[in-house]
Structure 1
């Protein structure tokens, strides 16, 4: 049989190999997408764990500070400012954003009720950028803060 007779078989084999290659490539892309999704989930969990660790540290420092607690309180306010900025600017997503928002709202509601800290907040403002992100967060979430304020015990 001359070589020219084998050309159609070679074309079929080549097409078959290309189809297998395409299937393998598609499978690889799906596995990569799944891995990226899992990586994002792990990153979100790590962000939440870090958030709660930092929250507990700031709250414990405030509760355990001897004498004048203003420094610990201002550190707590700065912590709220940083996470307000992250929430406002889209650095957090999904359940991470939801949990951080809930904690920020709870903290703001509590701060509104703790009148003895209002003067410390006012005194810590050194310019127009002080607590800018926290103010923006409060403005964006006025309804939720109001609803929580009404339902929270005094």
Structure 2
């Protein structure tokens, strides 16, 4: 009788172990899906917010309103440059956010209206540190975007 009890006990332990392994695999899969969903939501939020900041800049009716919208846009870019610099984005999102910020900074730096306002907005060595670090790290990419924009305009 003892052998039969030992057999069922061992069988029960094996079934429990298998269920535990399956459960861990399922939880790992759920975490992966949740991360992808969160990544997609963060990316959608970034793109929506970028569009809203750009629209506010375009829709501004007078100079003080334009200046305020521009500073808010710079702060938005600074926040996401900080996230990029800190490697807070997964690879897919990082690439899209990086490209969008690169494009925005090229437009700003090449603009006779906005580049001087960017320079004026830098009031200390700590202002827009993440944007400056981003620009230094992405100098080649910005040059390539600038060249593409020039070629498309010609």
TM-score normalised according to structure 2 size: 0.92
SS in 1 for 2:113: helix
Within the candidate set 104, 121, 131, 1:134 is matched to 131
1:75 corresponds to which residue? 72
Q: Which residue of 2 aligns with 1:21?
A: 16
Mapping for residues 74-93 of structure 1, pairs under 5 Å: 74-93=71-90
Q: Which structure is larger by alpha-carbon Rg, 1 or 2?
A: 1
> What is residue 43 of structure 1 aligned with on the other side?
38
Describe the superposition over 1:82-109 as per-residue Cα deviations: whole angstroms up to 9, x where unpaired: 1000110122112111110010111111
Q: Distance in 1 between matches of 2:5 and 2:140?
A: 70
Q: Which runs of 5+ in 2 are unaligned?
A: none
Cα RMSD, aligned residues only: 1.1
Unaligned runs of 5+ in 1: 1-5
Q: How far apart are the structure 1 equivalents of 2:13 and 2:91? A: 40
Distance apart, 1:112 and its partner CA: 2.1
Matched residues, number = 149
Per-residue CA deviations over 1:53-82 (Å, capped at 9, x if unaligned) read 111110000000012111111111111111
- Structure 1: 4+ residue segments shifted above 3 A: none
Cα drift, residue 127 of structure 1: 0.9
* Residue matched to 1:113: 110
Q: C-alpha deviations, 1:118-140, integer Å up to 9, x for none?
A: 22112111211111000111111
Report Cα offsets for 1:22-56 as digits up to 9, x if no partner: 11001100110011011101101110111011111
Partner SS for 2:124: coil
Q: Distance in 2 between matches of 1:105 and 1:119?
A: 18
Asked if 1:60 corresponds to 2:55, the answer is yes
